[in-house]
Amino acid sequence: MQPVSRHFLPLALVVGFAASAEAQYSSDFEGLTATAAGIPLAGQDSYYVPPVTGSIDFNAHTYAGNTLGIPANPTGGAQFIGGSGIAGGPARAQRNLTFGTGVWTAGYDICATFVGTLPATQNVGSFSLQNSTTERSFIALSRWTDVATATHWNADYVWADAGGVALTEVVADPAFQNLPINTWFRRETDYDLSNGAIVEVRITNLATGITASNNPVGRFLTGTFTALPAPTAFRFFAGGSAAGNVLAYDNPDLGPAGPATLGTRYCTPAVPNSTGNSTRITATGSNVVALNDVTLAASDMPNNAFGFFLTSLTQGMVAQPGGSLGVLCLSGAIGRYVGPGQIQNSGMTGGFQYMIDLNVHPTPTGIVQVQAGQTWNFQCWHRDSVGGAAVSNFSDAISIGFQ
């Protein structure tokens, strides 16, 4: 296992405009109309119920008081989507997407639970590229480890071997099996739309931040060797053939594979800023000191707000320091990136980024070099306003272990 995960492009909302013109999709579901009991997803954000006999809709829920009993997501906001067989399912939610070429990543947060009468039935649910019968596809299955107890599930796959035969398989890594219910995981699949290969699969426990990755050998998108075209949609599925199976999803992100996302987020979500959103920090690149490749990014900020990044070896939690709206999640010797070119402005995008230099790392007593074996914590401080009065606020924080 490794404590880094490639997920969360720094986007809070859907990327693109019309579904037919998109080349990437990312959402945190915060723009949906949702309630604790759930509001139908179809018709929101271009989702629809696919024409599969017996399908029912997913619902958009608030985490607070949700009727599915889904716990809060450590990296989620206020809302998620959920599906089950409780109302006669299974539930299916589909969305069109224009796929490109090269290596793409399909990532999403997922949480399983069971609320019916045992034994449960397979499958808990799945995520898939569609149309899975006429286009190239993989199916990321969620299957009960033991239907008699329904307390743990496996992150399995339907993909094809080098002969084009579709296979339903477990991942050759025990970290993908026996995953506890009522726990949020990040599940990601890298796949090459040019040659059909499954490049890498990952699972991250969002409570611990620990990621396991596996590089399947000789595994491909189904339909690759029969020259099926690229997929045109993706689908969430939940419920199985009987009442009780429940799957929740959050933070879907489909698009060209980007640089590795580093670190473990904590102190999240941040106190909302004047836009109503919580400022987020992400880090991309490599945690290998010798490569000196780390870029920090802040998103979901007010427009035209000045800000800079803070860093410390020590985590903390100080509410409203110096009259700020937010929480300072660092303590001890806190360094500030305030040198030439380091103070940034969010402009009209509500965010900024800065590639830090690990050889010129700020502390209150001077510049140091980051060392392998150290864990540094980072946070963004930025200007904000309340009723026209100037104040400040903070993002959540991220912890990066360097090697």
Domains contained in the chain, CATH given: 19-256 (2.60.120), 264-401 (2.60.40)
DSSP 3-state of 298? strand
For residue 239, the model assigns a pLDDT of 87
SS3 state at 250 = strand
Which one of 23-32, 154-163, 291-300 scores highest in mean pLDDT?
Answer: 154-163
- Mean per-residue pLDDT for 23-35? 92
Tell me the mean pLDDT in the region 373-386.
Answer: 94
Q: Are 135 and 222 in contact (CB under 8 A)?
A: no
Q: Are 139 and 158 in contact (CB under 8 A)?
A: yes
* pLDDT reported for residue 177: 98
Would you say residue 21 has pLDDT above 70?
A: no
Higher-confidence residue of 132 and 89: namely 132
- Residue 50: Cβ within 10 Å count: 15
pLDDT in tens, 138-147: 999 999 999 9
What residues contact residue 19 under an 8 Å CB cut-off, 6+ apart? 46, 95, 96, 97, 98
- How does pLDDT run across 126-137, given as a tens digit for each residue? 999 999 999 999
- Residues with Cβ within 8 Å of 227's Cβ and at least 6 positions away in sequence, in order, are none
In the 8-state DSSP scheme, what is residue 21?
Answer: G
6: pLDDT confidence band, cut at 50, 70 and 90? very low
8 Å CB contact between 141 and 129: no
**pLDDT of 14 above 50:** no
Average pLDDT, the chain: 90
Number of Cβ within 10 Å of residue 13's Cβ equals 13
- Per-residue confidence (pLDDT) for residue 260, from 0 to 100: 65
pLDDT above 60 (res 20):
no
Across 5-9, 85-89, 212-216, 317-321, which has the greatest mean pLDDT? 317-321
Least confident of 31-40, 132-141, 241-250, 303-312: 241-250
Non-local CB neighbours of 369 within 8 Å, separated by 6+ positions: 358, 359, 360, 361
C-alpha span between 261 and 238 (Å, rounded): 28
Q: Which two tokens stand for residue 326?
A: 């937010």
Note the pLDDT of residue 24. 87
pTM over 0.85: no
Q: How far apart are CA 398 and CA 279, in angstroms?
A: 12
Average pLDDT of span 63-87: 93
Task: Note the pLDDT tens digit of each residue in 274-318.
Answer: 999 999 999 988 888 888 989 999 999 999 999 999 999 999 999
**Backbone torsions φ then ψ of 289, nearest 5 degrees:** -55, -40
d(CA 228, CA 250): 30
Q: Is residue 69 pLDDT above 60, yes or no?
A: yes
Flag whether pLDDT at 13 surpasses 50: no
CA angle (244, 245, 250) in 5-degree steps:
130
